[in-house]
Amino acid sequence: MTATEDVRLARVALTWLAEPGTWAVHRLVDELGPVAALDLLLDGGAPDRALRSAVAVRSAGEDVRAVAEQALARTERLGARLVTPEDDEWPVRVAELRRLRLAGTNRKVDLETAPPLCLWARGAWPLAQAFDRSVAVVGARAATPYGTHVATELGYGLADRGWTVVSGGAFGIDSAAHRGALTAGGLTVAVLACGLDRPYPMGNTALFDRIAETGLLVSEWMPGAEPLRPRFLIRNRVIAAATLGTVLVEAAARSGATQTLNRAIGVLRPGMVVPGPVTSAMSVGAHELLREEPKARLVTGIAHVLEEVGRIGHDLAPPARAPERLRDRLDDEATQVLEALPRRKTLALESVATRAGVELRTAMRKLSMLEELGFVVRRDDGYALAPSGASRPA
């Protein structure tokens, strides 16, 4: 199934008339379809004053449909494509943004969180397939060496296990996650806040080219669109909804990356946080999320992440344990006998039994076993800790 040309044109025009995520536009499209919704808006029939003003400003002196046609032509010249909800490759998971409601905020970017009307893509992978088994890894631009190392390891580990790594292409944590996935020879997707022909930041141009060759560049904005500050926050809802979970690696007190995690939790996705040093300013936002958000999960590596997003019963992380020591295998009586031996003295069998609080025959049996294991040595006047066991051997 594919969209007709007039539907494609209308969706592009609507995305240009009002910023992506605008609920009033989304509801009109749901009710009337994209073509009729566009006609209504251009006739001044927007349901609220703010949208009427936005449409009037954008369409003043412009042929809106001509702008959309030029955008589609430019898309083709870029070797990119427009993907709409009518297309088979549409990532259907983004529709769950319909249920996202963020409490305690009146900011427009937190209220206008409707699903995208269309997406631009550069790269050979179908969107639905790329996002099917995907995890977002996001975090601070001013990442520390610790954060960069963790994000790289997560990107590599996820990609190495067949998961798509999704992020925003920014410096710091985003770039490290993308590069980790590329190093593993896996699939990574960068969701941009600007046109595909002017990916931001420009310093990552080579990285974006590598991603486009083997993965995907994705955007809600038509070619030529600038990376305006609010667009990064608008973009974050797509990262959160299109993936199966979001991992936050480092975030300052006021960070857009924490917003992405909140949106993931808002659409009932696992929201995961990697803890950092308590002395680092780049850990403040992450740690506050762990304190304030009951649904945020602490993760320390790839095994924890896979347990959160993987199949129930198949991707369980092994419990964290210290390396097993030989002493851990001793039973309670053997441990009592071993603890009864002083560090630098030899004790007679009777004295060992008394100090350990066990019968004489039990002490004899356990001492023989401990001698075989190398914990103790037998001397003419009794038993002593083996030289290598003076500090309680492993």
Query: Which tens digits make up the pLDDT trace of 127-144?
Result: 999 999 999 999 999 999
How many C-beta atoms lie closer than 10 Å to residue 143's C-beta?
23
Give the pLDDT score at 327: 79
Give the pLDDT score at 265: 96
Query: Which tens digits make up the pLDDT trace of 57-82?
Result: 999 989 999 999 999 999 999 999 99
Place 304 in a pLDDT band, splitting at 50, 70 and 90.
very high
Dig out the tokens for 144 from the structure: 């520390």
Q: Which of 278, 263, 220 is nearest to 71 (CA)?
A: 220
d(Cα 315, Cα 292) in Å, to the nearest integer? 27
Q: DSSP for 71-86?
A: HHHHHHHTT-EEE-TT
Query: Which tens digits make up the pLDDT trace of 308-360?
Result: 998 644 455 455 555 667 777 899 999 999 999 988 889 999 999 999 999 99
Long-range contacts of 160-163 (CB under 8 A, 24+ apart): 160/184, 160/186, 161/302, 161/306, 162/133, 162/186, 163/133, 163/134, 163/135, 163/306, 163/309
Buried b (16+ CB within 10 A) or exposed e, 220-238: bbbbebebeeebbbbbbbb
Give the pLDDT score at 388: 65
Give the pLDDT score at 313: 44
Predicted TM-score (pTM) of this structure: 0.83
Mean pLDDT, rounded, for 219-233: 96
Contact 190, 214 (CB under 8 A): no
Dig out the tokens for 331 from the structure: 């039973």
Dig out the tokens for 75 from the structure: 């898309």
Domain 78-309 adopts which CATH fold? Rossmann fold (3.40.50)
Q: How far apart are the first and last CA of the chain?
A: 65
Look at 139 and 108; give whichever has higher pLDDT.
139
Give the pLDDT score at 30: 97
Share of the chain above pLDDT 90, in %: 83
Share of the chain above pLDDT 70, in %: 94
Domain ranges within the chain, ordered by starting residue: 1-70, 78-309, 326-389
Dig out the tokens for 92 from the structure: 């259907």
Query: Which tens digits make up the pLDDT trace of 168-213?
Result: 999 999 999 999 999 999 999 999 999 999 999 999 999 999 999 9
Look at 104 and 313; give whichever has higher pLDDT.
104
**Sign of the dihedral defined by the CA atoms of residues 284, 285, 287, 291, in that order:** positive
Give the pLDDT score at 390: 41
| 255 CB-near residues (< 8 Å, 6+ apart) | 139, 140, 285
> CATH classification of 326-389 is 1.10.10.10, yes or no?
yes
Mean pLDDT, rounded, for 369-387: 90
Can you say how many angstroms the Cα of residue 167 is from the centroid of all Cα atoms in its chain? 8
Contact 187, 159 (CB under 8 A): yes
Give the bridge partners for 137, in sequence order. Answer: 247
Share the mean pLDDT of the chain: 92
Dig out the tokens for 248 from the structure: 């936050």
Give the pLDDT score at 392: 46
Place 253 in a pLDDT band, splitting at 50, 70 and 90.
confident
Give the pLDDT score at 319: 55
